[in-house]
Amino acid sequence: MLIYDYIIIGAGAAGLSLADRLCDPAFAGFNILVIDKEIKTGNDRTWCSWYKKPNRYDFLAQKRWKTLHFVGPGGEHIKLDPAPYDYRMLLSAPFYHHIHDRIEKSNHVHFVKAAYFSHTQKEGRVEVLTDQGSYLCNHLFSSVFQGEIDKKKHVYTDQHFKGWVIETPTPAFDDTACTFMDFSIDQGDEVRFMYVLPHSPTKALVELAVFSTTLWSQAGL
Ligand SMILES: Cc1cc2nc3c(=O)[nH]c(=O)nc-3n(C[C@H](O)[C@H](O)[C@H](O)COP(=O)(O)OP(=O)(O)OC[C@H]3O[C@@H](n4cnc5c(N)ncnc54)[C@H](O)[C@@H]3O)c2cc1C
């Protein structure tokens, strides 16, 4: 059986970020396998984060905002200038495409579509069991969470997002700024806020974020 130097389980943000770096020629002497139960291609995530320096994925980033709006629970409005940082939005689809493309073109990083079940130590190596068979490696990175969370022992909340991409026939959004957190909505017994992330004057992602100790159903959201 082929022995991989590294196996990465999970080709999401974490696994693909690592795989992307391991595609670099500096790692050409290693044999690397990425395992995921699916090949993700869609915009199932909208990542927004703070930067003050250029970063590796800037060429994929869809939007940057240098002005942010914050709305308090009573409707009070604060305009924020995050300089020297800006707030950058990266949609997951171009990120997934870019790194899967890098893997396809690489001779030393490979991808297999397989559902991971478990792994065990075997003679100083790790054996990874999947629905497509087993794989051996020297080092395993896994971003797949397994096991139970003891909700009594740990502080636990569920974080929910529900977003809609809205397109308008005429300009309706100021796309030089985003509404970072708007707490002026009904809070229930939870913490809730709205995001408005304008892609352009006629297109925006409007998203509800909820932190709750109980999991909402899709219908509830
Ligand atoms: C709508 C949304 C918006 C978000 N926005 C932000 C944001 O703005 N900023 C931020 O920091 N974070 C954000 N997050 C959280 C963000 O998704 C995580 O920070 C990040 O995606 C986690 O990366 P990950 O690789 O750990 O998990 P994931 O990206 O979820 O990847 C896990 C991978 O493991 C695979 N997998 C799972 N089980 C198995 C199995 N048994 N066998 C094989 N493969 C398996 C899955 O298919 C998946 O590809 C957001 C999340 C969502 C859902």
Pinpoint the residues of the chain covered by CATH 3.50.50.60.
3-43+92-142
For the Cβ of 46 lying below 6 angstroms from any atom of ligand 1, the answer is: yes
Rounded-to-integer distance, Cα 210 and Cα 196, Å: 15
Residue 102, exposed/middle/buried by CB under 10 A (0-12, 13-18, 19+)?
middle
Mean pLDDT across 173-188: 95
The CATH code that applies to domain 3-43+92-142 is 3.50.50.60
**Ligand 1 binding pocket mutation candidate from 50, 112, 143, 180 (most atoms within 8 A of CB):** 143
Rounded-to-integer distance, Cα 156 and Cα 89, Å: 27
Residue having the nearest C-alpha atom to atom 21 of ligand 1 = 13
| The predicted structure's pLDDT at residue 200 | 96
Rounded-to-integer distance, Cα 178 and Cα 166, Å: 14
Residues contacting 128, CB < 8 A, separation 6+: 7, 9, 35, 116, 119, 134, 135, 136, 137, 140
19 CA → ligand 1 middle, Å: 15
For the Cβ of 160 lying below 6 angstroms from any atom of ligand 1, the answer is: no
* pLDDT tens track for 86-109: 999 999 999 999 999 999 999 999
Task: Please name the residue ranges forming H helices in 59-160.
Answer: 92-105
Rounded-to-integer distance, Cα 90 and Cα 67, Å: 17
pLDDT band at 65 (very low <50, low <70, confident <90, very high): very high
Cα 58 to the center of its chain, rounded Å: 15
| The predicted structure's pLDDT at residue 31 | 98
- Taking 80 as the threshold, does the pLDDT of residue 162 lie above it? yes
**Ligand 1 binding pocket mutation candidate from 17, 40, 47 (most atoms within 8 A of CB):** 47
* % of the chain exceeding 70 in pLDDT: 99
